[in-house]
Amino acid sequence: MKHTIDTPALAVMAGVVVMALLPLALRNDYLLSYGINLLQFATMATAWALFSGPTRYISLATTAFYGVGAYTVAVLGELMPWPLVLTAALGIGSLIALLVGLATLRLSGVYFVVFTFGLAELIKQLVGWYEVNITKTSGRYVFLDIPQLAIYWQLLALLALALAAGWWMRRSRLGLALRVIGEDETAARHLGIATTRTKVLLFVLSAGFMTLVGAVIAPRWTYIDPGIVFNANVSFQVLIMALLGGPGHWLGPLAGVVPLTALFELLSVHFPNYFPVLLGATFLVIVFVLPGGVVALLKRWTWRRAAGSLKEARS
């Protein structure tokens, strides 16, 4: 199937180039740190939408794979070269996603939501039990000499790959199959679509990106423990960002990540004790005010404007 590069894709490619060069031009430590935070959430929200956008399966397992990536680095970081550590993290995260997907992606609706939330909590408790009872510690130190700028560029590369995957999926038979599954899974089966295999494939792909984000970001911390890297707030933040932008479009999550990263930065700095409450309030506002996200709102506005222009032309 032949694909042409559309205007949004060209704009994204130009944006990636600008983002890659921006830290060299600004040379500001705070902006670099903020950029890393922005890129990690942009990548995870885009990866989340790869699976949950077309299938409409709401996953709260983001922090499970994020934490697996971070802990893999904490355990293997000083034993193996960095590329092999990332490869190991990707392999472990993908294997977990494959096993979980095969076991649970026959579920749907609230059952899948509850299971994915429970999965993250289960992995957190298992890692905590292992640390306390086997290693006799409560966490691990991460001593890797990886500059912040290198972390920034690695996250930018992951975001570019996630966006490329979303662009390709939107135009591929796989993406079409996922959208059919999202509309009516029973009808998809009658059409001959291997629904479970298709869902598992995309779930593993999505989880792989999330795992790599956790691995790449781990060297920023000197010390990690299960409470830090398996924080449920990460899953909810990614979900809110994707929903605000609109998970139905491959660029949708970016429209939610940019404003909400700034908002969450302000809330965590000025209202740290009330952050979970404010996070929940933000979620409720988005669900009630923008149920389809910013992208859906823009589409409706465009259609109404086009309809209005057509009506004026006919009159």
For 233-291, the pLDDT digits (tens) are: 899 889 988 888 887 777 888 888 888 888 888 887 778 787 778 777 877 877 777 76
Q: Compute the average pLDDT of residues 83-112.
A: 88
CA dist., res. 261 & res. 41, Å (int): 8
Q: Which residue has the higher pLDDT, 298 or 58?
A: 58
Q: Supply the pTM of this predicted model.
A: 0.87
Per-residue pLDDT reduced to its tens digit, 22-39: 888 878 888 899 999 999
The band of 190, judged by pLDDT with boundaries at 50, 70 and 90, is confident
Above pLDDT 90, what percent of the chain? 32
Q: What pLDDT score does 1 carry?
A: 47
Q: What pLDDT score does 315 carry?
A: 60
Q: Write down the mean pLDDT value for the chain.
A: 85
Name the nearest CA neighbour of 229 among 158, 145, 138: 138
Beta bridge partners of residue 141, listed in sequence order: 223
Statement: residue 62 has pLDDT above 50: yes
CA dist., res. 282 & res. 260, Å (int): 9
Sign of dihedral through CA atoms 134, 138, 141, 142? Answer: positive
Orientation of helix 195-217 relative to helix 62-76, angle to 10°: 50
Tokens of 195: 């629904």
CA dist., res. 218 & res. 36, Å (int): 12
Q: What pLDDT score does 64 carry?
A: 94
Statement: residue 3 has pLDDT above 60: no
Q: Which residue has the higher pLDDT, 165 or 181?
A: 165
Q: What pLDDT score does 10 carry?
A: 80
Statement: residue 307 has pLDDT above 80: no
